[in-house]
Structure 1
Amino acid sequence: MIRFEQVAVRYADADRPTLSGVDLTVPEGELVLLVGPSGVGKSTLLGTVSGLVPHFTGGVLSGRVTVGGRDTRTHKPRELADLVGTVGQDPLAHFVTATVEDELAYGMESLGLAPDVMRRRVEETLDLLGLAELRDRPIATLSGGQQQRVAIGSVLTPHPKVLVLDEPTSALDPAAAEEVLAVLQRLVHDLGTTVLMAEHRLERVVQYADQVLLLPSPGAAPVLGAPADVMALSPVRPPVVELGRLAGWEPLPLSVRDARRRSAPLRERLAGTAPPVASTASGPATAPAPAAPPAPRGGLLGRLLGGRRHTAEAPAPSEAAVVARADGLGLRRGRVEALRRVTLSVAPGETVALMGRNGAGKSTLLSALVGMLEPTAGSVLVGGLHPFRTAPREMVRRVGLVPQEPRDLLYADTVAAECAAADSDAGAPPGSCRALVSELLPGVPDATHPRDLSEGQRLALALALVLTARPPLLLLDEPTRGLDYAAKARLVGVLRGLADEGHAVVLATHDVELAAELAHRVVILADGEVVADGPTARVVVSSPAFAPQTAKVLAPQEWLTVNQVRTALGPAQSPETGPSTGSPA
């Protein structure tokens, strides 16, 4: 279905090709997973299939790419629209209309499909992706994950023969990601759709792939093969594969189920050994404050919860030991009650992961903490100030936010100019921001324009800009979106260093592996309410949705990461000799 013939892509002013020597065939009716470190050209390879490269991105394409017999050099994206459906890393750049239902219908209308066909396909897609309740909602009011589902749905309705997806699950909660992957499998298995997908969260998708296409380094020839074979030599691999390498399992497992079938001897070796407990710089993580009673709800659950309080395991920290506190926080966004009676405190040196399904209120809570949204009930204090009532220039010294869309923070024409501006704004010594960029994003030249960076690279740059001011409270919204495992490991190292220095870190994330590696506490939100708040191991191990792969494999023991297991086994007992790449170090 897709044929690459000696394909290479070189952009202007680049000292080497982004892609080189791509010569392979993607068969019809297969799901092919494209993997590799950040910046190796995955998005560029996808763009050659959709026609975006070189028609919209520029650069020089040599060789030949054909999709269903059409040459993408001579067919522009609009001439491939009936054949290829594309969803990029940024769903906002994809939307044309204002509401969910209109967006799902737009592609079919452009192709001139009959109204009754359009009506049926819209309803099917709403049900497939769990969007029925959002059909009339303005797209601008949706969460990032909900927008991503709409973007995927809008390319499904025309029934293309080829789907090109760039990080399709990056902003989705675990349950929504499973639903989307199930839909893709159904399209592949039942309709013969060809799916070419790039994804960094391999723990979610590698077990569903028919083949894996590895780009090992920029300009290097790709490797196409069976998932287990490619994972054995890939520089990026999911935790379950990393655990298999550590335990010496052959062949390597690709799913939690495969790993659990072989894990009994490993569980026996770990029996009686306690996993290390995360602690803050000043000692064990402070126990969370008691949450306020949930808002009244209907049905049996409402009657059971209505008169009860979510009790904490220890008294709340004193005001002197708190960087940020929300008390009975309520917040409405238009018709939606986004937060209801949320009580939360964050202590210095503590890392808190906010988790929950898309639309649960995580980003809204971060926006309230930074002062972007005004509470409609309760109160928020950060550094003793009310964020919404305090001038932004004053708040920036107390709290920094890295948003889901890093481009919102990027205005300059080069990486060097962005860093210079960040140093000036923060009153930091020249070169402070650039040093952080080099740590998070090695190898990016000063003259690079931020728009030429990948989504993950832009995120790392935005994080460096915010970290330059060293705010006591750092807020991050989906900070690993678009990051490979090595970049995630570097991010974890930076955030741990900040926590050790006494900075408080709050991250809203769907990345259960990141929460397991980094967070002292996990707070789970549902429909704007806090439904769980406690130590990471206690909260996530018992959760089918939010447990990391290692916890699922080794349950009921409370092991969260491969690194914990590696430390417990000791170097003498571990068959693994290479560095860890499957989970942050």
Structure 2
Amino acid sequence: MITFEQVGVRYADASEPALRGVDLTVPEGELCLLVGPSGAGKSTLLGTVSGLVPHFTGGVLEGRVTVAGRDTRTHRPRELADVVGTVGQDPAGHFVTDTVEEELAYGMESLGLPPAVMRRRVEETLDLLGLAELRGRALSALSGGQRQRVAIGSVLTVHPKVLVLDEPTSALDPGAAEEVLAVLQRLVHDLGTTVLLSEHRLERVVQYADQVLLLPGPGEPPVLGDPAELMARSPVRPPVVDLGRLAGWDPLPLTVRDARRRAAALRERLPAPPDPPAPAAAPPAATAIATASRLVVARGPVPALRGVELALFPGEITALMGRNGAGKSTLLGSLVGLHAPASGTVRVNGLVPHKSRPKDLIRSVGLVPQDPRDLLYAETVAEECAAADRDADAEPGTCRGLLATLLAGIDDERHPRDLSEGQRLTLALAVVLAARPPLLLLDEPTRGLDYAAKARLVDILRTLAADGHTVLLATHDVELAAELAHRTAVLAEGEIVADGPTPDVVLASPTFAPQTAKILPPYLTVADVAKALTPQDQP
């Protein structure tokens, strides 16, 4: 279905090719998962299939990519639209209409299909994706999982033979991610669609893959093969695979169920885990740095927060979890003064956020939004850091010094948009921290990060907590919460329905439990298991 013949891609001014030596064929009717570290070329490879590379991105495409017999060098994306459907990380970025039904019909209208055909395909797609009850709903009123299903449906109505998806679950809660992945399974199994998928959160998707396309990184050619075999050599892998490697299991498990079946002997060797670590700088009588009391915030006619009670303490890392639309971003926005309470109170470091001057507020609380680019507006990293110092009345070089401490090697002359996701997030963190706010808020900080970048973020946030900073992060990443957070609070329909030590909260929830906890409770991470095993216990 998709054939790569010695494919390479080089962008202007780049010292190394973004992609090289791709020579393989992706079979028809299978789900193929792209695996590799950031910068390995996954998005570029997806772009060569849809024709976006090089027709829209520029650069030089070497070799040849054919999809259903069409050469992407000679067929522009619009000439591949009936064969290849593309869905990116942000489904709203694809929408061009106002309602679900209109969006499903738009692609067919562009191709000039007869009205009778369009009507039939819209109905079929509504049923296939479970969207029938939402047909007249405004796209702006949908949840994240619903939007992603509509984005997939908008390309499916054209009946493409290939579906290309870039990080389709990165912004979704665990339940919504399962919905989207179930849809992809139906497309592959029932319709014979070929799905090419890139996703950093491998714990969500690797068990669904028929094939894995491994991009090891610079200097090594991509390899297509069996998921378990390639996971054994992949530089990035989900916790269930790491646990299998630690235990010496062969073949490696790809699902929690497979690992649980083989874990009996390992479970017998494990002692009871120690108590979780206490917050770094939170004495029993510590004064809260931020509080919300009976907080109600309205976003339109419906309250987004309903009577929220929350207190955040110095040195404490708190994970805020819940479904898409539960109110997590609204709560963060309220703490930073973006939303005025309809009732109740918010206090941060003695200030009322929505009544405080920004110049005063940035010294008390800093927010890194879901897309760090929202904070970055200068032309170079150096200019961005200088602007942050001026805004914070900090000594010149403060932000740049923080950036060097957090992540060395970022060129001063690079444009922020040319940085990797991890580098951009770190720059945004340095910009916020230039004012030394005691409270740091992060909204989906691991979106788009690979496992190595996420590990660096964990180290950074632990260091900040050890220095007395309070960290509140809204996240769908259950593995991050298990590894990092002292405490976890769960929001549902604008109300906090659980709040306590992370092990207590996540072990009580099948939705928010990490993979290791589902296999070897009450251990939360593979690192916890490794620490518990004595050297002679390890293979």
> Is the shorter-chain TM-score for this pair beyond 0.5, marking a shared fold?
yes
Contact 1:19 1:220 in 2 (8 A): no
Q: How does 1:369-448 map to 2 (within 5 A)?
A: 369-437=335-403, 443-448=409-414
Query: Is the alpha carbon distance of 1:528 and 1:86 closer, same or farther for their aligned partners in structure 2, counting shifts above 3 Å?
Result: same
User: Which residue in 2 is equivalent to 1:565?
Assistant: 529
- Aligned counterpart, 2:503: 537
Tell me the residue number matched to 1:297: none
Report how far residue 327 of structure 1 moved. 1.0
Does residue 250 (structure 1) correspond to residue 250 (structure 2)? The answer is yes
Alpha-carbon displacement from aligned partner over 1:169-220 (angstroms, at most 9, x marks no partner): 1011111111111110111111111111111100001111111111111353
Please give the secondary structure, in 2, of the residue aligned with 1:251: coil
Q: Which ranges in structure 1 are unaligned for 5 or more consecutive residues? A: 287-316, 576-585
Aligned letter for 2:161?
K
Equivalent position amino acid for 1:51 in 2: G
SS in 1 for 2:325: coil
For residue 479 of structure 1, the aligned residue among 421, 445, 461 is 445
> 2:407 and 2:64 mapped to 1: Cα distance?
32
Distance in 1 of aligned mates of 2:100 and 2:434? 38
- For residues 389 and 145 of structure 1, the distance between their equivalents in structure 2, rounded to whole angstroms, comes to 35
Amino acid aligned to 1:113: L
- Matched positions, count: 539
Match for residue 312 of structure 2? 346
Instruction: Note closer, same or farther for the CA distance 1:403–1:443 as it changes in structure 2 (3 Å cut).
Output: same
Counterpart secondary structure, 1:321: coil
In the alignment, does 2:292 pair up with 1:326?
A: yes
Give the alignment of 1:42-191 within 5 angstroms: 42-122=42-122, 125-126=125-126, 135-140=135-140, 147-191=147-191
Q: Against the structure 1 CA distance between its residues 138 and 264, is the aligned structure 2 distance closer, same or farther, given a 3 Å change threshold?
A: same
Structure 1 pair 223–51 and aligned structure 2 pair: CA distance change class (3 A)? same
What is the RMSD of the two structures over their aligned residues, measured on CA atoms? 2.2
Give, in angstroms, the shift of residue 470 of structure 1: 2.8
User: Taking structure 1 as reference, are residues 90 and 220 closer, same or farther at Cα in structure 2, changes over 3 Å only?
Assistant: farther
Q: What does the per-residue CA deviation read over 1:332-389, in whole Å, with 9 as the maximum and x for residues that have no partner?
A: 2113321111111111111111111111111111111111111112111111211111
CA positional deviation for 1:148 = 3.8
Task: Give the AA of the match of 2:532.
Answer: A
Structure 2 unaligned regions, length at least 5: none
* Alignment partner, residue 548 of structure 1: 514
State the TM-score, normalizing by the size of structure 1: 0.87
Task: Give 1:204's aligned amino acid.
Answer: R
1:455 CA displacement: 4.2
Cα distance change on mapping 1:128 and 1:410 into 2, 3 Å: farther
Question: Is the 8 Å Cα contact of residues 41 and 218 (structure 1) preserved in structure 2?
Answer: no
Contact 2:122/2:157 (<8 A) preserved: yes
Given the superposition, is the C-alpha separation of residues 473 and 357 from structure 1 closer, same or farther in structure 2, using an over 3 Å criterion?
same
Q: Which residue of 2 aligns with 1:260?
A: 260
Aligned-pair CA distance for 1:16:
1.1
What is the alpha-carbon distance in structure 2 between the residues aligned to residue 389 and residue 380 of structure 1?
Answer: 10
Structure 1 residues 11 and 183 mapped into 2: Cα distance closer, same or farther (>3 Å)? same
Identity of aligned residues (%): 74
The separation in 1 between residues aligned to 2:355 and 2:479, in whole angstroms, is: 36
Aligned equivalents of 1:120 and 1:437: distance in 2?
A: 55
Deviations 1:403-456 (A, max 9, x none): 112221121222332233223333445444345545665654333323334445
Alignment of 1:3-22 (within 5 A): 3-22=3-22
For residue 232 of structure 2, give the secondary structure of its aligned residue in structure 1: helix
Q: Once the two structures are superposed, what CA deviation does each residue of 1:64-109 show, in whole Å capped at 9, x if it has no partner? A: 1111111111111111111111112333432222344433332232
Deviation at 1:485, TM superposition (A): 0.6
Alignment deviations for residues 271-294 of structure 1 (CA, whole Å, 9 cap, x no partner): 4x224403111357x7xxxxxxxx
Q: 1:568 to 1:235 in 2, by over 3 A?
A: same
Whether the 8 Å contact between 2:282 and 2:314 is mirrored in structure 1 is no
Matched, 1:508 2:474: yes
1:22-55 C-alpha deviation (Å, 9 max, x unpaired):
1111111111111111122111111111111111
SS for the counterpart of 1:418 is: helix
CA distance in structure 1 between the aligned counterparts of 2:102 and 2:302, rounded to whole angstroms: 21
Distance 2:348 2:161 in 1: 51
Distance 1:570 1:23, change over 3 A: same
For residue 155 of structure 1, what is the amino acid of its counterpart? V
Task: Give the match for residue 36 of structure 1.
Answer: 36
Question: Quick check: 2:282–2:316 contact (8 Å CA) kept in 1?
Answer: no
- CA 1:456–1:71: 2 relative to 1, 3 Å: farther
- Look up the equivalent residue of 2:385 and give its one-letter code: C
User: Which letter does structure 2 place at the counterpart of 1:533?
Assistant: D
In 2: Cα distance, 1:164 partner to 1:491 partner: 29
Provide the rounded CA distance (Å) in 1 between the counterparts of 2:371 and 2:126.
Answer: 25
For 1:367, the aligned partner's letter is: G
Helix, strand or coil: the match of 2:537?
A: coil
Distance across 2 between alignment mates of 1:203 and 1:8: 29
Alignment pair present for 1:366 and 2:366: no
Most deviating of 438-447 and 519-528 = 438-447
Kindly indicate whether the alpha-carbon contact (under 8 Å) linking 1:33 and 1:206 is maintained by their aligned counterparts in 2. yes
> Partners in 1 of 2:431 and 2:505 — Cα distance?
32
Closer, same or farther: CA 217–191 of 1 in aligned 2, 3 Å: same
- Indicate conservation of the 8 Å contact 1:89/1:455, yes or no: no
The answer on whether the counterparts of 1:146 and 1:358 sit within 8 Å (CA) in structure 2 is no
Q: What SS does the corresponding residue of 2:462 show, helix, strand or coil?
A: helix
Instruction: Write the distance in 1 (CA, Å) between the matches of 2:424 and 2:137.
Output: 29
1:498 alignment partner in structure 2: 464
- Does the residue aligned with 2:13 lie in a helix, a strand or coil? coil
Q: Is the 8 A contact 2:294 2:307 kept in 1?
A: yes
